[in-house]
Amino acid sequence: MSTSHVEAARPVRKKSLALCAIMLSIACLALPALAQVAASESALPDAPSADSSAVALAVTTTTATDHPFTLGERAHAYARAVFSPVTIIGPAFAAGIGQAQDEPPSWGGGAEAFGKRYGSAAARRVIAETVIFGFAAADGEDPRYFPSQDRRAWARARHAIVSTFVSPTSHGVTIPAFSRFVGVYGAAFISNTWYPDNRATAGNAAVRGTWGIAGSLGLRLASEFVPLFRKYQQ
């Protein structure tokens, strides 16, 4: 690659890394607040002054912690998350975007390149779900998605967004979704082992992880409004 091309690529990488850092900073600031709000709402599900959408979130949290999430149930949820149509459709969609954007460029185009991009996306999903399974079992999180009890569109959308960043636990409290962030970003960094050298950087991995979180949010929104997705959602 010529010096001019390298110099031209640097601003793009810096912008991507800066954008990722901003999003991560916002998430880090928002997560404790979201967890505190969700926990306080779940503690007062019958308060007459509570907003109905807040009550719906509290009801959902209670449903998730009615009984301990056993290791067998965790294994079943993990298998459902890994061996499902979403594991095929999601990576195919991501591979299609990568193919259209020629990203990474060194993989080129054509069927073989699509196969590489598809395999990469599928591997990241399986790795992420595996890490989520282990981490959630360790800290007691229940990473499954429980639809909102509120039928209003905005309340349902807000529930899907919030549940991307927080998780109920077997202890009856709501905490930041550590397992999801560790799993998604961990898989993104592990994928550096097979990405081309110019895409196997911490900055690029962070960007991939951020897009992975965005994908999780999108899947939760789909699960909330399209019942077919709920069967395969975790």
DSSP 112-123: HHHHHHHHHHHH
124, 208 Cβ separation under 8 angstroms: yes
Does the pTM of the predicted model rise above 0.85?
Answer: no
Mean pLDDT, to the nearest integer, of 132-158?
A: 92
Two tokens, residue 172? 């009856």
Residue 178, helix vs strand vs coil? helix
Whose tokens are 């949010």? That residue is 217
Say which residue the tokens 């607040």 belong to. 33
Distance of CA 187 to the CA centre of its chain: 11
Is residue 165 within 8 A of residue 178, CB to CB? The reply is no
Instruction: Give the separation between CA 220 and CA 214, rounded to whole angstroms.
Output: 10
Which one has a higher pLDDT value, 230 or 83? 83
SS3 174: strand
Cα separation of 114 and 100, whole Å? Answer: 10
Burial class (CB in 10 A: 0-12, 13-18, 19+), 167: buried
In the predicted model, is pLDDT for residue 156 greater than 90?
yes
The H or E element that residue 40 is part of is helix 3-43
pLDDT 10s digits, 83-140: 888 888 889 999 999 999 999 999 999 999 999 999 999 999 999 999 999 999 999 9
> What is residue 42's predicted lDDT score, i.e. its pLDDT?
41
Q: How confident is the model at residue 71 (pLDDT cuts 50, 70, 90)?
A: confident
Residue 222: exposed, middle, or buried by beta-carbon count in 10 A (0-12, 13-18, 19+)?
A: middle
